[in-house]
Each structure stands twice: as C-alpha cells, then as structure tokens.
C-alpha cells in the first residue's frame, strides 16, 4: 500500500516557529538562515543548495505565533498579515487572486492546514492550496480549491492557471461537509507527482491524476473574493508510491472507462475518450492493434466490420484505408465522421487534453509490433501516463523487456491457480480479472494486495456490482458507464457508502391490460419507466422491439402476454400485461385483404363475408389453402370465420 504519513495533530504548540528543513546538511541550513535575514524567499534562494529532504521530514511547519509573516513567505498579491495567531489573506473581489508563496519543490508530499472563511463575497468564492506555484507567484500554477459553498457539485476543484492566464479546471466534486464562514476546516492534500487527493476533515473528497508539475514550483495559499484565516500549515515529504494503483485507505475505486465512455459514444474513438474525460474517469481503456503497414491503431475487434462502414481484418488494411473509414455512424448519426485513431493520435490527444491510458495490447503481437507501440509511447512523452495490459503473456514479457518502466496488468477471464506467483513472475502492478472470475475466489484480492499488486476488475456497469467490488477491496473498475461510476463514487465520498438506488419501475400502458384487440388494429406497446437504464420487452416470450406496431394478423386468436423487464442501478423490475386477439367482422375483412390471396380468391371471400356465410367461407379458405391463398393465412381466415359463426 502507499506509504502513509505518520499521524500527527493539526494543532501545534505555540513555541514552534517556521521550520524550513533541508535534511541534516548544516551548510544548507546556514544558507536558509542567511536568506531569511535578507528577507528573501527561502524557496527561491536555497532550493538548489538544499539536499533532498528525507521521507517524513517536515519541510514547513508554521503556527503563526509571531506578529509578522514568517521568514521565506512571500506575499505576491492581496493583503496578507498575521493576526491573533493566524495567517489572514484577503482578496477584495472575485477578480483578485491573492496569493502567498513558500516552501520548496517536492514530488511526493502532504500539504495540510486549518482554513476558515471569515467572510466571502458569495458562496462561489474560494481558497486554494498551491501544489506547484513559482515563488514569484507567476503563472502557471496548480492548485486544490475549496469554495465557501463546499457541498456544491464544484465545491472542490483541482485546477490549473495556465501561462495564458486562463483557468483549466481538471476535476470537480462536492465536499462531505459545508465550510460556510466562521468554521475551521481541516484540509490536506497528498501529492505524488501528477496525482493528488484532497482530504476534508479527515475524509477523502476528491482526487486527480492531472496536477501540472514544474521543475521548481513550491507551495502557496490563495484567496479569491474572500477573507480567509489559516493555522497550523504543515508540509511533510512522503515516500514515492510503491504501487500508485493500489487504493489508499478511505479512497474510492478508480474509474476506468472501457473503450472510452462506450455506453455514450462510439467506442475506441477520440470522441469516446473525450466523453470519458468529461465524465471524470481516472483512466481511459483502449485496445491497440497494428494495420497492414505496421502502424498501431485503436480498435477492439480483429475486423472493422462492427464499428465502421468498412469490411475486413485490421491487419489486412493499410493506415490510409483505415483513416478513410467512418467509425461513428454505426453508433449514432451525431457521430458520423469519427475515425479509427492511430495510437499516436490518441496519445497526442491525451497529452494535450488530459487523461491516462490503460492500453490493452489486443491479440498476439510480435516483439517488433510491441516495440512499435512502445516507440509511440516514448515519442509522445506519455510513458508516465500509460499502463499496459493484455491477455497475452508474451506481449507483457516483450513490454517488460523493452520498457521495464511501464506498469503491467494481466487480463484474465478466470483466475489462475496462483495469481500471486504469476504476478511476481511477470512483475505485474495489477492483476485484472473479470467480475465473474473474481466472484469464484474473492479472497484473492487480499492475497494480491499483500504482494503489492492492485486488482482492476472488468467489465461492471451496475451499482450492485460496484458495491460488491468496493466491499471486496478492489482497486479499480473497468466500466462502460464511467459517468455513473464517478457519480456513485461521489456519493460514496459524501456518505461513507453510497445510498442504494431505488429499484426501477416499469408499467405497460398499451395495449391496456385485458384489452380486446381486433385484426384491423396495430397497437404499439407503450411503457412508462423510472430509474431504468435498459428495458427488455417480449411478446409471448420472444423479444419485441419497443415502439414497433404489433402485427395482429400474425397472431392466433386468444390471449397474448407482453412482458417488460427494466434494469437500472437499483436492480431489476419486471411486469406483465395480457391482451386478447378477438375475431370481428372488420378484423376478418382486414385479414382477407392483407392475406396475399389472388384477386379471385379475395373477391370470393369478401362476397361470402358480406352475406355472413361464415361456415362456407371457412370451408372454401381451407380448400384453397396453399393454392390461391397462402396456407398460414388460409388457416387464420378459416379460424376467425368459425369463431364468428
């Protein structure tokens, strides 16, 4: 599991003053003291001279027991002062980003403090912890933000202020409790490179994988449109994560978007990736295979038949041929023109727009084909944001040989006899079984965790399954519904456990229960549902497309059953309704006219019907069965005529 910061109270004795440590190197401490006397920011002046702090070192510890700003703290904008044992920052309006910088550049650290809104222009105003901010306070910055209205959907944010002085908000969510004004809130942010998690009053509330890091940015506090006081500011170094893919205590499961957000957009396209990104997915899962000319492309099937307007095996098509295919129209006309992306195009998109890639090497690959995949990852600078998985052990072994820094996951439908031994042999960071495979031996999660191996389970799309996996300690869920799982996780953060969704409801409105339907009618089944993600409709046990008229001429006389089954996050609900096909004079006329009989037969039958000669009509229809009247229709006509006699 990731190393945890030793427990320590937020409130520190007043005798403690600002401590900027640089390990045990006396020379560095002397430089820090000199810089402090000169009134220069320690982070700006001594960072190059400081030795790297040891794991667990408290780099900054300040309780504001003096009457002036601590040495090394640099007020960049707004009003910053020490009052009554607290640091107070004021921003006059929503356009002013008041900020004060301090600390030093760290890759792995915990930044904590007690914050209190004394006043605010409105509930949208905020304070923020600067996670990577230049000592000058100039852009770009990376921050973790808390609004006064913390329980709003964007009450918490991870965001970047770009070099163009614009906002890029990467992650939003609500806090478990309201901050308001006049209330102390304990905030902590644990940062590991580009990953961070925001903890409010001891409970994780939001996390990100998209902290923009620099070579020298330190820490900061920021205030916008508010007056905020701070106490007990502390920055502690953490150990690098032994396995960043293991779920931290109190953290929700990671959301892995299967083939992108494949329930909402055409799978394995840049559109589905963008949809997944906006849904809050931690990872985007895609499949990679080579074209005829060896260029890695993002596609699941071994042919393009199902998800494009083309035909053929991907390995028999050139990159130019693949580029001409429409990979969106099959899903929806709105997505017409979507393309089968190359791996390089996808990596470029992720690099510029954000996101991490769980890349499945699909099917058998040669070592040279794996090498080409790795080359694209290296050339795009995405090595730190790609996790490779495969069902193929050879592909993982090739990857490890060529790029030992890339994390590996082994996909399995059923569990191996000894997953832990296999994980050690292949140097896996994750063992990724199907939900059904894991259900056979759920205790393997704890076994793998003891070996430092994460568990990512595929492919689970409902709240019942998520609840089971969360209780079983699973680290990540691969799902077609990343937005729904992200929402489920948000409820989990808010309440400790998500509320059980209400069961879906479904009613059959038409044909009305017990309705008597004649042949001339073509009723369209109508349903009323709530809380349903999908509905299956059957007629007499056979699937029936909702919205399709019922062909009453194809049904026998008597009672028929419609059954509707609704599935949603809250479970499954089913209901049934019956209607009766009944013989009528009008219905028999409709049956004759639509029977496909020849003109003479139709004239003869309608003449008999006009004179109510039902027995003769039935006998004549049977006599002409298969001759002038199609046999199945002749039997129906005869049956309805006898029912009317």
Q: Please give the positions annotated as active site.
A: 258, 300
CB 430 within 8 Å of CB 453: yes
Give the contacts of 316 (CB within 8 A, at least 6 positions apart): 292
Residue among 181, 173, 129 nearest 151 (CA)? 173
Cis peptide bond upstream of 436, omega within 30: no
User: SS in 3 state form for 552-589?
Assistant: HHHCCCEEEEEEEEEEECCEEEEEEEEEEECCCHHHHH
CB 155 within 8 Å of CB 149: yes
CB 220 within 8 Å of CB 99: yes
∠ CA(636), CA(640), CA(645), 5° rounding? 145
Hunting for tokens 């896996």 — which residue is that? 428
Strand partners of residue 574: 565
For residues 68 and 224, give the distance between their C-alpha atoms in angstroms, rounded to a whole number: 22
CB 300 within 8 Å of CB 259: yes
Strand partners of residue 629: 625
DSSP of 295-345? -EEE-SSSBSTTTSS--SBGGGS-HHHHHTS-SSTTT-GGGTT----BHHH
> E strands of 332-463, at which residues?
357-361, 386-390, 408-412, 430-433, 454-457
208: phi > 0 → left, psi -120 to 50 → alpha, else beta; which? beta
169 exposure class (CB count in 10 Å sphere: 0-12, 13-18, 19+): exposed
Name all contacts of 493-499 with Cβ < 8 Å and 24+ positions apart: 493/173, 493/174, 493/176, 493/203, 493/204, 493/205, 493/206, 493/252, 494/174, 494/176, 495/176, 497/467, 498/463, 498/467
DSSP of 158-212? EEEE-TTS-EEEEEEE--SS---SS--EEEEEEEETTEEEEEETTEEEEEES---
CB 145 within 8 Å of CB 126: yes
337: phi > 0 → left, psi -120 to 50 → alpha, else beta; which? left
- Collapsed DSSP state (helix, strand, coil) of residue 117: strand
Hunting for tokens 């090394």 — which residue is that? 72
Hunting for tokens 């607290």 — which residue is that? 86
Residue among 605, 588, 597 nearest 639 (CA)? 588
């Amino acid at each position: 599991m990731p190393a945890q910061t030793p427990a320590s109270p937020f409130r520190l004795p007043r005798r403690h003053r600002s401590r900027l440590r640089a390990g045990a190197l006396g020379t560095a401490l002397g430089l820090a003291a000199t810089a402090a006397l000169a009134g220069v920011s320690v982070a700006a002046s001594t960072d190059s001279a400081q030795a790297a702090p040891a794991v667990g070192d408290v780099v900054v510890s300040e309780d504001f027991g003096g009457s002036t700003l601590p040495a090394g703290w640099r007020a960049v904008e707004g009003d910053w002062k020490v009052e009554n044992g607290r640091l107070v920052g004021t921003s006059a309006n929503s356009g002013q980003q008041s900020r004060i910088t301090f600390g030093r550049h760290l890759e792995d650290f915990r930044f904590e403090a007690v914050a209190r809104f004394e006043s605010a222009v409105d509930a949208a105003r905020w304070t923020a912890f600067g996670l990577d901010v230049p000592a000058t306070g100039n852009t770009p910055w990376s921050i973790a933000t808390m609004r006064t209205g913390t329980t709003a959907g964007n009450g918490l944010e991870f965001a970047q202020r770009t070099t163009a002085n614009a906002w890029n908000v990467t992650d939003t969510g609500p806090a478990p409790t309201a901050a308001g004004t006049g209330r102390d809130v304990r905030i902590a942010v644990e940062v590991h490179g580009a990953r961070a998690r925001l903890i409010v009053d001891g409970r994780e509330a939001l996390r990100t994988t998209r902290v923009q890091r620099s070579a020298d940015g330190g820490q900061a506090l920021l205030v916008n449109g508010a007056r905020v006081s701070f106490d007990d500011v502390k920055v502690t170094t953490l150990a690098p994560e032994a396995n960043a893919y293991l779920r931290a205590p109190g953290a929700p499961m990671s959301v892995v978007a299967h083939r992108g957000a494949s329930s909402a957009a055409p799978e394995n396209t840049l559109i589905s990736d963008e949809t997944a990104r906006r849904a809050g997915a931690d990872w985007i899962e895609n499949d990679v295979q080579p074209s005829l000319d060896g260029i890695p492309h993002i596609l699941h099937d071994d042919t393009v038949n199902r998800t494009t307007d083309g035909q053929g095996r991907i390995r028999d098509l050139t990159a130019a041929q693949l580029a001409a295919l429409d990979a969106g129209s099959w899903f929806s006309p709105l997505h017409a023109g979507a393309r089968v992306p190359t791996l390089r195009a996808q990596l470029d998109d992720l690099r510029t727009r954000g996101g991490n890639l769980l890349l499945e090497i699909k099917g058998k690959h040669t070592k040279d084909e794996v090498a080409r995949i790795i080359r694209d990852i290296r050339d795009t600078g995405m090595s730190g944001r790609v996790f490779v998985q495969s069902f193929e052990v050879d592909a993982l072994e090739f990857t490890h040989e060529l790029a030992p820094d890339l994390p590996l996951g082994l996909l399995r439908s059923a569990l191996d006899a000894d997953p832990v031994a296999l994980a050690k042999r292949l140097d896996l960071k994750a063992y990724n079984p199907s939900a059904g495979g894991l259900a056979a031996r759920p205790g393997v999660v704890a076994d793998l965790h003891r070996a430092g191996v994460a568990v990512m389970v595929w492919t689970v799309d409902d709240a019942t399954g998520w609840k089971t996996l969360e209780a079983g300690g699973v680290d990540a869920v691969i799902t077609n519904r990343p937005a729904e799982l992200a929402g489920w996780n948000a409820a989990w953060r808010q309440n400790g456990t998500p509320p059980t969704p209400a069961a879906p409801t479904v009613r059959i409105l038409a044909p009305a229960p017990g309705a008597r339907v004649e042949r001339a009618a073509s009723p369209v089944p109508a349903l009323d549902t709530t809380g349903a993600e999908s509905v299956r409709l059957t007629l007499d046990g056979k699937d029936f497309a909702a919205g399709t008229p019922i062909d009453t001429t194809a049904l026998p006389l008597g009672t028929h059953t419609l059954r509707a089954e609704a599935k949603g996050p809250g479970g499954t609900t089913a209901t049934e309704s019956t209607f009766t096909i009944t013989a009528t004079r009008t219905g028999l006329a409709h049956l004759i006219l639509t029977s496909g009989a020849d003109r003479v037969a139709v004239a003869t039958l309608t003449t008999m019907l006009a004179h109510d000669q039902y027995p003769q009509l039935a006998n004549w229809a049977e006599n002409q069965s298969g001759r002038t009247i199609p046999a199945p229709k002749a039997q129906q006509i005869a049956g309805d005529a006898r029912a009317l006699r």
